[in-house]
A and B are shown apart, each in its own frame.
Chain A
């Protein structure tokens, strides 16, 4: 069972370059999320999508963009990477927009280093 898949697992990127982190889920979940996790901080929401065709900004959206063309895919793009975007990125999905139990299913994470 695949669940939710992220790629790449890790990446080193030069500052100023663009990068897309891919996220695909096969659970037919409506809601999808991108978080970043930094040492000593809680997970911070970058962008989210409650359903295909819609997206919203989270707590730390600057420097990132997303799209949700279909139910399964939710890519995250860094248009011009900066060192402060060095982090572990987690994609997650839930079976609703979070209005019931809102259990999140996470991908394995993408470790991004911007030099």
Chain B
């Protein structure tokens, strides 16, 4: 079956760095997405990886290893506004997205 695993909750300190991991098993693969979702709001797109390696976008970076079925989202210089859920989603061979349950990130001052 198809599956996405990511931690349920993580806690980090303002100004620090946090890495949110995601492992996936899909029938075929057409890319890995990260979305941010603040409580009570809609998800918003953060990143897309289809090739192995690190994609950097400001304070946020996303990494993909296709051979390991593994991705992570790296958040640097954490700010209180980064408190949110981070959703990992993999696109399968039919171009359908398989979603993880999300990682709730709590930032403490």
The 0/1 profile, CB within 8 Å of A marked 1, for residues 87-108 of chain B is 1010100011111111000000
Main secondary structure of the interface of A (DSSP, over half): loop
B42 touches A102 (CB 8 A): no
Query: Number of contacts between A and B (CB, 8 Å)?
Result: 53
B95 touches A109 (CB 8 A): no
Question: In whole angstroms, what is the CA distance A10 to B97 when docked?
Answer: 26
B4 touches A108 (CB 8 A): no
Q: Measured between C-beta atoms, what is the minimum distance from B24 to chain A in Å?
A: 11
Contacts known (A98-B91, A98-B95); A42 close to B45, Cβ less than 8 A: no
Partner of B95, one of A41, A58, A97: A97
Can you give 22 contacting A-B residue pairs, CB < 8 Å?
A40-B101, A42-B4, A42-B87, A42-B100, A42-B102, A43-B43, A43-B97, A45-B96, A45-B97, A90-B43, A98-B95, A98-B97, A99-B30, A101-B31, A102-B30, A102-B91, A103-B33, A104-B35, A104-B43, A104-B97, A105-B45, A106-B42
Give the A-binding residues of B (Cβ under 8 A).
4, 30-31, 33, 35, 41-45, 48, 87, 89, 91, 95-102
